[in-house]
Each structure stands twice: as structure tokens, then as C-alpha cells.
Amino acid sequence: MDSSQSRSLRWTPVFERIPEDKRRRVLESAKRSFATKGFAGTNVNLVAEAAGISVGSLYQYFRTKDDLFLALIDEFHLLLESTLDEIVSSETGFFGRVEAILRAAIRSSLEDPDLVRLYIACTTDELAPLSGRLSNRIEGISAQLYRDMVRSAQERGEIDAGADPAATAFCLDDIFLLVQFSYGSDYYRGRLKTFVGASALEDPESLVASVMHFLRRALKPD
């Protein structure tokens, strides 16, 4: 790991120097706990224990429980950024990008459901004291990117010229977000089953197709 790139403000230089697999173990243990028990419900002693370290070591790596939580949110942030960058550079058409974002949302949830659960935990008002420090940075990336995608597709005549780019980005993200939640969280998995049926969980491509039908119509030019 290139420490000049990975240097996070959330952890201490001590954490930088421990082996990669140990670092991974600490972050995974914390992610698991915040994702399943929430912020207040997370006991740092148990996080340390599950990672096979002492709680004293944990406090040498992260000064506070807040910092431990925020380090994980940074991870979500970096993952989203790199996923979207990759989609934008490999897909050129508007609807191709939208479809790739939907698929990436589903794939990332299936691969790492705890990251989605963590994101959901971070949207609760229980975490309002931290939200000033989060300042919707995750949304900052996607809002900007989706608005730009809408504007440039409008200029090319690929989509409805009358749509408001900001509100369109909001509607797109509403759907991306709840598709993502649906494959990672217990509650939203139940919601998808209630709305669309178990088939959507077993065959995500069928949901992608129906959602694309909806979005293509919403945005196609006159």
C-alpha cells in the first residue's frame, strides 16, 4: 500500500505501520459491528476482540469511535468514486452508463452487504452528531456526476431537453440508492420482495430490465 495515497485523517500513523491483513481485520470487524448493531450498539471492546487485538491497540489505531466509523465511510466513498470513474470511462452513452450504475449498485451490495448496511446506519438521526463531519460527501460525488451526465446527454440530443438536470439526478439517484439497499439490507430486501416478488432477488437482471424501461421512457427525447 502506498502510504502517501492511503493516509487517512481518521487513523493514526501507528495503524499505517501494521501489516495489511491485520489492518483489514480491524476494519472488517468494525464494519460488521456498525452495520449490524448501529453506532450506539457498537462496543469497541468487542470490535477489538473479534479482530484479535486488545482494545488498547485499537485506541492506538483510532483515537475515537467516531474516527473508526468515519474511516469506514471513507472506504465507501472511495469505492463509489472508483466505480463511477470506471463506468464513465468505459461507457459513453447515457443509458449505457445508467444501466452500468444499476448493475454496479447491485453487485457491490451482493459482494459487501455490510458496506450498504453501514451507509444506511449513517443516514439515521442517531448519527446526526457525526453528520456535520460527513457533510453528504458521498452524495457530492454522485450528484455532480449525474447532473453532468444529464447535461451532456441533453446537449447531444440523447435525452429529454426539458428535464431539469438537478431534479433528474435526484430521481435517478433515488432509484439507484433503493436498488442498492434492496440487495444489501434485510429491511430493504423485504421491501423489494413485497413490491416486486422474490424473483427480483433471485434474478436481479429482470429488475434492471424493468427499471431501464421506466428510465428510458422518463428521459427519451420527444
* Residue 188 engages a copy of itself in binding (rule: CB under 8 A): yes
Distance CA 214, CA 182 (A): 18
* Residue selected from 31, 168, 183, 204 as contacting a copy of itself according to rule CB under 8 A: 168
Nearer Cβ to a copy of itself (61/184): 184
DSSP string, 79-104: HHHHHHHHHHHH--SHHHHHHHHHHH
- Helix ranges (H only) for the chain are 3-6, 13-17, 20-37, 44-51, 55-61, 65-90, 94-111, 113-122, 128-134, 137-155, 165-182, 186-196, 199-202, 204-219
* Residue 150 engages a copy of itself in binding (rule: CB under 8 A): no
Measured CA to CA in angstroms, residue 38 lies from 20, 65, 177, 184 at distances of 26, 12, 20, 15
* Residue 19 engages a copy of itself in binding (rule: CB under 8 A): no
- Phi, psi angles (nearest 5°) of residue 60: -80, -25
In contact, 181 and 120? CB cutoff 8 Å: yes
* Residue 203 engages a copy of itself in binding (rule: CB under 8 A): no
* Residue 161 engages a copy of itself in binding (rule: CB under 8 A): no
DSSP-derived 3-state class of residue 172 = helix
Total chain residues near a copy of itself (CB under 8 A):
64
Contacts to a copy of itself from residues 45-104, by CB under 8 A: none
Contact flags string 106-145 toward a copy of itself, x per CB under 8 A: -----------x--xxxxxxxxx--x--xxx--xx--x--
Distance CA 130, CA 30 (A): 17
* Residue 151 engages a copy of itself in binding (rule: CB under 8 A): no
* Residue 174 engages a copy of itself in binding (rule: CB under 8 A): yes
* Residue selected from 26, 30, 35, 104 as contacting a copy of itself according to rule CB under 8 A: 35
The residue type at 158: E
* Residue 153 engages a copy of itself in binding (rule: CB under 8 A): no
* Residue selected from 55, 88, 175, 201 as contacting a copy of itself according to rule CB under 8 A: 175
Q: Return the range that interacts with a copy of itself (CB under 8 A); candidates 52-60, 84-92, 100-108, 204-212.
A: 204-212
Site of interaction with a copy of itself (CB under 8 A)? 35-41, 117, 120-128, 131, 134-136, 139-140, 143, 160, 162-164, 166-171, 173-175, 177-179, 181, 185-188, 190-197, 200, 207, 210-211, 213-215, 217-220
